[in-house]
């Protein structure tokens, strides 16, 4: 098992602060740009420090949060067919691996030749991968601390043949459709002529189900969202008072996406290294989007990115889809 620490390459620079007490000037400038925008926003990658990653694990166990269990049921029901489609001995590249549990659940069926776990929260990833290697010593494992929101820059230690990129949980929904196409095109460029993609996609459904999934009754999602302010305080020397903010998560039907925001409970001045902003009571910071698709709309998006959707598996309610797509040869 090998670990690659975040480097100073511009595509990986943003990963390092998630394991340290302070950000680089470039990262502070990136965050400040969003906070100073007319409608304040932050990248969702800053939700995932070590605590944020653990809180997201807790979200996945909530009764309201259907994506995890629905996707897991699809893998359980169609695992053999999925393994047949991917084939044994592939290079399985797990994007946003977290605790590596989803990929690990497929190891007995997929039997990858190499497992490459990529996550922006390097410390959390290294702990997870170390435990996983003890369970599956026969699999070559590699951990990469990488901010793939900014691009994929895979080292030579990642095997080049039969790469299958694994992107479960409908994390692709964090990208706006045009951004998703650009991201998937980069995945396609790294997949090679014999590679593919195994991806989970959340489908459009009743608004009440979506609203509850992103604003649960006991407030775990709220804690996850609010933790980002604590994280920004550490990264950029900010002085957000977390108690003066509240979480909002809801489905925006016109944009076909769930939105997460943090709303100021009172007027306040927030300072950070080199800048400040006064927030009015009720003003919001847009922290995350999760776009929802129909089967047809997502297949069209894949085709624009250079993939052909070879197989689609869904649950009985058509709430979620798992898609295996093959790279279209140039």
Q: Does some domain include residue 50? A: no
Please state the rounded mean pLDDT for residues 35-49. 95
What's the pLDDT band for 4 if we cut at 50, 70, 90?
A: very low
Residue 40 in domain: no
Q: Which of 135, 81, 134, 89 is nearest to 112 (CA)?
A: 89
Does the pLDDT value for residue 13 go beyond 80? no
Q: Is residue 219 part of a domain?
A: no
DSSP conformation letters of 80-138: HHHHHHH-TT-EEEEET-TT-HHHHHHHHHH--SEEEEEES-HHHHHHHHHHHHHH-TT
**90-114 pLDDT, tens per residue?**
999 999 898 899 999 999 999 999 9
- Average of per-residue pLDDT values in the chain: 91
Please state the rounded mean pLDDT for residues 228-255. Answer: 97
Q: Are 303 and 54 in contact (CB under 8 A)?
A: no
| Confidence tier at 21 by pLDDT (50, 70, 90) | low
Say what the pTM is. 0.85
287, 228 in Cβ contact below 8 A?
yes
Task: Please indicate, yes or no, if residue 307 is contained in any of the structural domains.
Answer: yes
Residue 136, in any domain of the structure: yes
pLDDT score, position 19: 42
Using CA atoms, how far apart are residues 168 and 195, in angstroms rounded to an integer? 17
pLDDT band at 7 (very low <50, low <70, confident <90, very high): very low
The whole-number pLDDT of residue 95 equals: 95
Phi-psi region of 30 (alpha: psi -120 to 50; beta: other; left: phi over 0): alpha
- Predicted confidence (pLDDT) at residue 306 exceeds the cutoff of 90: yes
**% residues pLDDT > 90 (the chain):** 81
The neighbouring-strand residues paired with 264 are 245
Structural domain that includes position 307:
66-205+293-327
> In which element (H, E) is residue 140 found?
strand 140-145
pLDDT at residue 144 in the model? 93
User: What's the CA gap between 175 and 183, in Å, rounded?
Assistant: 8
Q: Does residue 11 belong to any structural domain of this protein?
A: no
Average pLDDT estimate for 258-286 = 98
Output the pLDDT for position 148. Answer: 79
Query: Is 270 among the domain residues?
Result: no
Q: 232 near 42, Cβ under 8 Å? A: yes
**pLDDT-wise least confident of 6-20, 195-209, 229-243:** 6-20
> What CA–CA distances, in Å, run from 246 to 62, 92, 210?
20, 39, 19
Q: For position 78, which CATH number holds?
A: 3.40.50.150
Higher pLDDT, 205 or 130: 205
Q: Which residues pair with 92 in a beta bridge?
A: 115, 164
In the chain, how many domains are there? 1
Q: Please give the Cα distance from 93 to 106 (Å, whole number).
A: 13
Mean pLDDT of 140-151: 86
Domain-located, residue 322: yes
In this prediction, residue 310 carries a pLDDT of: 87
């Amino acid at each position: 098992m090998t670990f690659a620490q975040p480097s100073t390459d511009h595509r990986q620079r943003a990963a390092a602060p998630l394991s340290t007490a302070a950000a680089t000037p470039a990262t502070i400038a990136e965050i400040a740009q969003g906070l100073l925008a007319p409608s304040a926003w932050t990248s969702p990658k800053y939700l995932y420090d070590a605590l944020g990653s653990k809180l997201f694990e807790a979200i996945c166990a909530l009764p309201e949060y259907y994506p995890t269990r629905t996707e897991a049921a699809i893998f359980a029901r169609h695992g053999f067919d999925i393994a047949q489609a991917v084939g044994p001995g592939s290079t399985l590249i797990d994007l946003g691996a977290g605790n590596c549990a989803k990929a690990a659940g497929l190891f007995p069926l997929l039997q990858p030749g190499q497992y490459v776990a990529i996550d922006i929260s390097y410390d959390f990833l290294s702990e997870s991968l170390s435990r996983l290697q003890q369970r599956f010593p026969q699999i070559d494992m590699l951990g990469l601390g990488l901010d793939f929101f900014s691009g994929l820059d895979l080292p030579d230690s990642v095997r080049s043949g039969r790469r299958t990129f694994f992107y479960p949980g409908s994390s692709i929904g964090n990208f706006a459709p045009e951004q998703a196409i650009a991201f998937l095109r980069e995945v396609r460029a790294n997949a090679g002529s014999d590679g593919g993609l195994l991806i989970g996609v959340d489908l459009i459904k009743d608004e009440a189900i979506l609203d509850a999934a992103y604003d649960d009754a006991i407030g775990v999602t709220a804690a996850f969202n609010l933790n980002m302010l604590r994280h920004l305080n550490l990264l950029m020397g900010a002085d957000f008072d977390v108690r003066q903010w509240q979480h909002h998560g809801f489905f925006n039907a016109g944009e076909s996406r769930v939105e997460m925001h943090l709303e100021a409970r009172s007027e306040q001045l927030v300072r950070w290294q080199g800048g400040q902003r006064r927030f009015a009571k009720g003003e919001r910071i847009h922290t995350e989007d999760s776009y929802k698709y129909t089967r047809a709309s997502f297949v069209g998006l894949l085709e624009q990115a250079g993939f052909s959707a070879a197989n689609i598996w869904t649950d009985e309610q058509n709430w979620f889809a798992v898609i295996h797509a093959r790279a279209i040869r140039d």
